[in-house]
């Protein structure tokens, strides 16, 4: 079976570009047992869903600040909705009441969750040819307590987190205490955590609109006079079956004294029955058009995942028991030989690390994307006659910074790196480097076979785990990787790898945060790309004017994470034609436009949760 797999390379290529792999994942998702809906909410019970849909046809004029009663109009029979049924509203006033109630319900349901929050921010400067391009970047990663405090624990305990306000904003800092901190981004998950109601806000119906497959009612929301500072001002999209907010777009107003709020576009996904949970937030500030004098200009992506993370739950115990109870039935069962013992030890360390990173919300569970990665690794192995005592596994690190590392026989590659790689050959090249470490026996991490080393709080992961090789091993791995690639189906496509490395080099000086690794060796150091440098001169020169030359992709185009269960899948989007050099946006962040679907229809991935999960904490 292995000997014929290299033929698959074309198939994998197709998968990466057209994204046909999603179907299998979806099937798997559909076959999952449905979880019980969370029970914390006190939504009143059902009435006819027909009249609910009817009421969703508001006739109030768009300019009316407070909506009046709308005549129920005939509406098509809605499809079954797994959301808790709501009393059928007959007036826009009632719709608003439901929206307010559902928002309170969401806040309550999520109040014991501590999801992972990642914000990646690029400051912008104008380039004559490329338009706004990153001038520097910043990265935050932490766990957000969705309880009353909306408190946050940072995974990165470096200077960046502490003193970024002062370092970052220069003159601007003197004018405002800009809310440029991680908490500023975490805040934007709700319109108003405490006072989202009609006493503090006026709601004005605008129109109906589809977001993806979901029909929404659109409202403009403004704080009432004397409602206090820092109130939400903007627009909300409310799905018309359960009346949950699915998107918020606006800012907070008026600013708190000496502070400043970002504009944000905040999206939610229907990942559990009846609730739409915050998943993506795009922020952008300042004028970065040509000639703008604005000093502060940035765009930022915030992603939230790991809602279902828990700490030492019963599920974990069951897994342990199952693994431990596998019986060794080999006829000559006896003590392991020294070499066997060494290998088992390595395996134990590897399993410990994979498990610990997964429970910290940093590693996706095994899934669809791994199959693609494993096929590429297999292509390299088969054509190089590599036969290892244990199979090489691959896993996806959920974070944006571009990094790979390996522990035992598991190769880990970050979501951000998969996103920006332009083609399968480039993916093969970064995987080849890690495969080379494995082949060369550069084993790391055997100390993690001791279980006490796994006992640390999630936010201390980066202080407790690390897989960096010494420079000599890095060079040896690069050399070996080149050999592997030259014998592989990718041998003829190494020009593309060279091009990617050139694109990376062109931005390396500005993207220090994206290139700062947290577990493995960096691809670049001090603004200089070091990984696979022998290939960096190969291939054509980087040329922005060549529209068919795609050296690196923007972030977020390849891998999609299910924020509830952390499963990774390949995004299925049709390629969009590039019409100018500005469309290339290598390594850049862009706004989010997820295609919204209702839970249980064409679910983006399989949620699996119950309300009984203990508080993940950390």
Three-point CA angle 269, 139, 373, nearest 5° = 65
The CA distance from 458 to 533, in Å, is 35
Q: 3-class DSSP state for residue 222?
A: strand
Q: Is 426 in the site for Zn ion (CB under 5 A)?
A: no
Stretch touching Zn ion by CB under 5 A, among 8-16, 31-39, 111-119, 461-469: 461-469
Nearer Cβ to Zn ion (392/603): 392
Nearer Cβ to Zn ion (21/519): 519
Q: At its nearest, how many Å lie between Zn ion and the CB of residue 409?
A: 15
Nearer Cβ to Zn ion (432/606): 432
Three-point CA angle 471, 474, 475, nearest 5° = 90
Query: Where does residue 228 fall: left (phi above 0), alpha (psi -120 to 50 degrees), or beta otherwise?
Result: left
Nearer Cβ to Zn ion (110/438): 438
Closest by CA to 275, choosing from 345, 210, 386, 190, is: 190
Q: At its nearest, how many Å lie between Zn ion and the CB of residue 31?
A: 38
Phi and psi of 533, rounded to 5°? -60, -25
Nearer Cβ to Zn ion (239/474): 474
Q: At its nearest, how many Å lie between Zn ion and the CB of residue 75?
A: 59
Nearer Cβ to Zn ion (227/377): 377
Q: At its nearest, how many Å lie between Zn ion and the CB of residue 205?
A: 57
Nearer Cβ to Zn ion (169/438): 438
Q: At its nearest, how many Å lie between Zn ion and the CB of residue 469?
A: 5
Q: At its nearest, how many Å lie between Zn ion and the CB of residue 433?
A: 5
Mark out the alpha helices in 273-335 (DSSP H runs): 314-324
Q: At its nearest, how many Å lie between Zn ion and the CB of residue 386?
A: 17
Nearer Cβ to Zn ion (300/357): 357
Q: Is 414 in the site for Zn ion (CB under 5 A)?
A: no
Nearer Cβ to Zn ion (370/474): 474
Place of tokens 């995942």: 305
| SS3 readout for 229-261 | CCEEEEEEEEECCCCCEEEEEEEEECCCCCEEC
Stretch touching Zn ion by CB under 5 A, among 114-122, 222-230, 373-381, 514-522: 514-522
Rounded (to 5) percent helix, strand, coil in the chain: 30, 20, 45
Nearer Cβ to Zn ion (468/582): 468
Stretch touching Zn ion by CB under 5 A, among 18-26, 54-62, 468-476, 543-551: 468-476
Sign of CA dihedral 239, 242, 246, 251: positive
Q: Residue 321 is encoded by which pair of tokens?
A: 């028991």
Q: At its nearest, how many Å lie between Zn ion and the CB of residue 115?
A: 31
328, 168 Cβ separation under 8 angstroms: no
Going residue by residue from 10 to 49, which x/- string records binding to Zn ion, judged by CB under 5 A? ----------------------------------------
DSSP H or E run through 618? none
Task: For 475-529, give the DSSP string.
Answer: HHHHHHHHHHHHTSTTGGGHHHHHHHHHHHHHHHTT-TTTT--SSS--SEETTEE
112, 615 Cβ separation under 8 angstroms: yes
Nearer Cβ to Zn ion (272/477): 477
Q: At its nearest, how many Å lie between Zn ion and the CB of residue 528?
A: 16
Q: At its nearest, how many Å lie between Zn ion and the CB of residue 443?
A: 12
Q: At its nearest, how many Å lie between Zn ion and the CB of residue 477?
A: 5
Stretch touching Zn ion by CB under 5 A, among 112-120, 463-471, 570-578, 597-605: 463-471
Q: At its nearest, how many Å lie between Zn ion and the CB of residue 346?
A: 17
Stretch touching Zn ion by CB under 5 A, among 83-91, 350-358, 466-474, 554-562: 466-474
Going residue by residue from 289 to 328, which x/- string records binding to Zn ion, judged by CB under 5 A? ----------------------------------------
Nearer Cβ to Zn ion (404/562): 404
Q: Which residues are within 8 A (CB) of 566 and not within 5 positions of it... i.e. 6 or more apart?
A: 305, 306, 308, 309, 358, 361, 363, 364, 365, 398
**Alpha carbon distance, N-terminus to C-terminus of the chain:** 43
Nearer Cβ to Zn ion (168/477): 477
Q: Is 161 in the site for Zn ion (CB under 5 A)?
A: no
Mark out the alpha helices in 136-233 (DSSP H runs): 159-169, 172-175, 182-186
Closest by CA to 217, choosing from 334, 350, 70, 371, is: 70
Q: At its nearest, how many Å lie between Zn ion and the CB of residue 548?
A: 32
177-178 and 201-211 as β-strands: parallel, antiparallel, unpaired? unpaired
Using only C-alpha atoms, what is the Rg of the chain? 25
- Contact positions with Zn ion (CB under 5 A) in 231-290: none
Q: At its nearest, how many Å lie between Zn ion and the CB of residue 597?
A: 39
Q: At its nearest, how many Å lie between Zn ion and the CB of residue 440?
A: 10
554, 587 Cβ separation under 8 angstroms: yes
Stretch touching Zn ion by CB under 5 A, among 157-165, 455-463, 518-526, 602-610: 518-526
- Contact positions with Zn ion (CB under 5 A) in 469-508: 469, 474, 477
Phi and psi of 460, rounded to 5°? -105, 15
Stretch touching Zn ion by CB under 5 A, among 62-70, 308-316, 349-357, 464-472: 464-472
Q: Residue 97 is encoded by which pair of tokens?
A: 């009441």
The CA distance from 355 to 352, in Å, is 5
Nearer Cβ to Zn ion (133/508): 508
The CA distance from 471 to 100, in Å, is 57
Nearer Cβ to Zn ion (164/386): 386
284, 266 Cβ separation under 8 angstroms: no
Nearer Cβ to Zn ion (384/521): 521
554, 503 Cβ separation under 8 angstroms: no
Stretch touching Zn ion by CB under 5 A, among 9-17, 259-267, 422-430, 465-473: 465-473
Q: Residue 453 is encoded by which pair of tokens?
A: 């080393």
In the complex, residue closest to Zn ion by CB: 521
Number of residues that bind Zn ion (CB under 5 A): 4
Q: Is 521 in the site for Zn ion (CB under 5 A)?
A: yes
Q: At its nearest, how many Å lie between Zn ion and the CB of residue 170?
A: 36
166, 173 Cβ separation under 8 angstroms: yes
Q: Is 352 in the site for Zn ion (CB under 5 A)?
A: no
Q: Which residues bind to Zn ion, rule: CB under 5 A?
A: 469, 474, 477, 521
């Amino acid at each position: 079976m292995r000997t014929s797999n290299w033929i698959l390379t074309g198939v994998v290529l197709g998968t990466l570009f057209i994204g046909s792999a999603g179907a299998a994942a979806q099937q798997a998702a559909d076959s999952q047992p449905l979880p019980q809906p969370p029970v914390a909410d006190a939504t009143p019970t059902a009435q006819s869903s027909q009249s609910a849909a009817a009421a969703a046809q508001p006739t109030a004029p768009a300019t009316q600040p407070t909506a009046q009663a709308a005549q129920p109009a005939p509406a098509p029979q809605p499809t079954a909705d797994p959301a808790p049924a709501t009393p059928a509203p007959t007036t826009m006033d009632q719709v608003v009441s439901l929206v307010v109630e559902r928002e309170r319900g969401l806040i309550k349901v999520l109040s014991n969750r501590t999801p992972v929050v990642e914000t990646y921010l690029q400051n912008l400067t104008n380039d004559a040819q490329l338009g706004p391009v990153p001038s520097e970047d910043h990265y935050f990663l932490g766990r957000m307590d969705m309880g009353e405090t909306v408190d946050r624990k940072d995974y990165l305990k470096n200077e960046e987190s502490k003193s970024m306000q002062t370092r970052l904003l220069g003159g601007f800092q003197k004018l405002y205490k800009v809310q440029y901190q991680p908490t500023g981004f975490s805040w934007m998950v709700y319109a108003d955590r405490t006072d989202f109601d009609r006493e503090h806000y006026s709601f004005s119906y605008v129109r109906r609109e589809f977001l993806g497959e979901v029909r929404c009612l659109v409202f403009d929301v403004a704080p009432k006079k004397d409602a206090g500072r820092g109130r939400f001002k903007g627009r909300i999209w409310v799905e018309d079956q359960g009346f949950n907010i699915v998107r918020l777009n606006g800012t907070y107003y008026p600013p708190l004294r000496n502070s400043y709020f970002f504009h944000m576009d905040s999206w939610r996904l229907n990942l559990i029955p009846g609730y739409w949970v915050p998943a993506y937030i795009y922020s952008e500030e300042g004028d970065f058009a040509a000639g703008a004098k604005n000093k502060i200009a940035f765009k930022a992506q915030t992603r939230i995942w790991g809602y279902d993370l828990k700490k030492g739950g019963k599920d974990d115990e069951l897994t342990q028991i199952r693994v431990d109870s596998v019986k060794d039935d080999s006829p000559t069962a006896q003590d392991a030989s020294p070499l066997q013992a060494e290998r088992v030890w390595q395996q134990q360390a590897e399993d410990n690390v994979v498990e610990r990173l997964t429970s910290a919300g940093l590693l996706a569970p095994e899934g669809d994307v791994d199959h693609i990665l494993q096929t590429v690794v297999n292509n390299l192995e088969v054509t190089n006659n590599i036969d290892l005592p244990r199979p090489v596994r691959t896993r996806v690190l959920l974070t944006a910074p571009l990094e790979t590392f390996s522990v035992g026989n598991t190769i880990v590659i970050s979501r951000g790196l998969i996103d920006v790689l332009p083609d399968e050959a480039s993916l093969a090249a970064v995987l080849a480097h890690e495969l080379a470490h494995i082949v060369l026996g550069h084993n790391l991490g055997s100390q993690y076979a001791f279980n006490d080393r796994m006992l640390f709080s999630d936010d201390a992961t980066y202080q407790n785990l690390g897989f960096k090789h010494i420079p000599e091993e890095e060079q040896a791995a690069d050399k070996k990787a080149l050999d592997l690639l030259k014998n592989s189906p990718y041998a003829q496509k190494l020009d593309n790898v060279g091009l990617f490395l050139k694109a990376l080099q062109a931005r390396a000086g500005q993207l220090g945060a994206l290139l700062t690794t947290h577990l493995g060796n960096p691809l670049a150091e001090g603004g200089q790309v070091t990984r696979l440098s022998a290939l960096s001169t190969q291939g054509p020169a980087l040329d922005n004017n060549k529209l068919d030359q795609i050296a690196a992709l923007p972030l977020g185009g390849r891998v999609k994470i299910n924020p509830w269960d952390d499963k990774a899948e390949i995004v299925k989007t049709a390629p969009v034609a590039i019409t100018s050099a500005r469309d290339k946006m290598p390594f850049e962040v862009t706004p989010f436009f997820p295609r919204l679907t209702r839970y249980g229809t064409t679910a983006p991935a399989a949620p699996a949760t119950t309300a009984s999960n203990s508080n993940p904490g950390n």
